[in-house]
């Protein structure tokens, strides 16, 4: 049995039937349905799947799990605002298939259709793309971990498998290269993020001697591939040892001549 709700004997299309309330809808199928033209607000409890559901939009999805709020009609870019749209907001870009997250009225995070997640980056190019510093109290990669961060902000495992390399050549004049490098002790200007005193090399100086060991970020700041210097050090030690061995032979030869 349906109960019509109206004023002055009129029937505005609002109805309550079988415990279901329709506003702008004469045949409600759910506990609450609100229609104006083609727009919809629906609230009901799905007994089959055992979850409550609120749907907003004129083309709601029907395959939902747990408690759900569906916003939009598949053509626009809906958003879910908290307190106000100028403070907290989650917005979905239907055209480009991207989900944006805002706090304090400013863009913070993005998740695109390919699964790339960006923090402070509008167009992430990898699974995690961050514009800014990343701090960690513990970075675990297993016993075989060998990680490096490029000046472009990419954290990657250093690969050394022969199958990944070509044009393999011995390093020549390694000792001369090492002799031109200068190890220094210094203080970081930004103590909060970099610490205080440290040991290392100067990127500009290394670049003049072995440019392959230096990378630059978009702002021109240089970083040195410190682990790669090991290869040069190994060959430099071998060259130096060869020189020492040659000198020892000369000394032995001189000693034999004097003893005669």
Instruction: For residue 33, give the nearest of 50, 47, 51, 53 by alpha carbon.
Output: 53
Give 74-88 pLDDT, tens digit per residue.
Answer: 555 667 776 655 667
- Checking if the pLDDT of 195 tops 50, the result is yes
Q: Domains in the chain, ordered, with CATH?
A: 2-130 (no CATH), 167-260 (1.10.10.10)
Looking at per-residue pLDDT, the higher value among 96 and 67 belongs to: 96
| pLDDT confidence tier of residue 56, bands split at 50, 70 and 90 | low
Residue appearing with tokens 């210097």: 229
What CA–CA distance (Å, rounded) separates 112 from 121?
Answer: 11
3-state secondary structure the chain: CEEEECCCCCCCCEEEECCEEEECCCCCCCCEEEEECCEEEEEEEECCCCEEEEEECCCCCCCCCCCEEEECCCCCCCEEEECECCCEEEEEECCCCEEEEEECCEEEEEEECCCCEEECCCCCCCCEEECCCCCCCCCCCCCCCCEEECCCCCEEECCCCHHHCCCCCCCCCHHHHHHHCCCEEEECCCHHHHCCEEEECCHHHHHHHCHHHEEECCCCCEEECHHHHHHHHHHHHHHHHHHHHHHHHHHHHHHHHHHC
How many CB atoms sit inside 10 A of residue 68's CB? 16
First to last CA, the chain: 130
- Asked whether the predicted pLDDT for residue 1 surpasses 60, the reply is no
Measured CA to CA, the distance from residue 40 to residue 73 in angstroms comes to 10
What is the b/e burial string over 36-45, where b = at least 16 CB atoms within 10 angstroms of the residue's CB?
Answer: eeeebbbebe
> What value does the mean pLDDT take over residues 151-177?
82
Task: List, as own/partner pairs, every contact residues 165-173 make where C-beta atoms lie below 8 angstroms and the sequence separation is at least 24, other chains included.
Answer: 170/235, 171/231, 171/232, 171/235
Query: Per residue in 100-140, pLDDT tens?
Result: 888 887 888 989 988 999 998 888 888 888 887 776 665 55
Reported confidence tier of residue 65, pLDDT bands at 50, 70, 90: very low
Polymer length in residues for the chain: 260
Q: What is the pLDDT of residue 100?
A: 86
Residue 20 confidence class, pLDDT cut points 50, 70, 90 = confident
Query: pTM of the full predicted structure?
Result: 0.51
* 80, burial (CB in 10 Å: exposed 0-12, middle 13-18, buried 19+): middle
> In this predicted structure, what is the pLDDT of residue 157?
62
Percent of the chain surpassing pLDDT 90: 25
């Amino acid at each position: 049995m349906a109960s019509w709700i109206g004023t002055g004997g009129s029937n505005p299309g609002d109805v309550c039937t079988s415990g279901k309330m329709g506003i702008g809808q004469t045949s409600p199928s759910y506990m609450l349905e609100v229609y104006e033209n083609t727009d919809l607000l629906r609230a009901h409890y799905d007994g089959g799947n055992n979850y409550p559901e609120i749907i907003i939009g004129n083309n709601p999805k029907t395959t939902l799990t747990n408690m759900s709020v569906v916003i939009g009609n598949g053509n626009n870019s809906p958003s879910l605002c908290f307190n106000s749209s100028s403070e907290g907001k989650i917005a979905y870009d239907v055209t480009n298939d991207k989900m944006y997250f805002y706090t304090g009225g400013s863009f913070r995070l993005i998740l695109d259709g390919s699964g790339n997640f960006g923090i402070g980056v509008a167009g992430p190019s990898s699974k995690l793309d961050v514009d800014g510093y990343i701090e960690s109290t513990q970075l675990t990669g297993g016993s075989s971990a060998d990680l490096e961060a490029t000046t472009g902000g990419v954290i990657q495992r250093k690969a050394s498998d022969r199958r990944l390399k070509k044009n393999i050549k011995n390093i020549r004049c390694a000792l001369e290269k090492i002799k031109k490098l200068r190890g220094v002790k210094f203080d970081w200007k930004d103590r909060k993020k970099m610490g205080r005193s440290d040991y290392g090399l100067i990127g500009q100086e290394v670049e003049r001697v072995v440019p392959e060991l230096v990378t630059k970020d978009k702002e021109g700041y240089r970083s040195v591939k410190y682990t790669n210097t090991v290869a040069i050090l190994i060959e430099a030690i071998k060259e130096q040892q060869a020189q020492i061995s040659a000198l020892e032979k000369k000394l032995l030869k001189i000693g034999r001549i004097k003893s005669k």
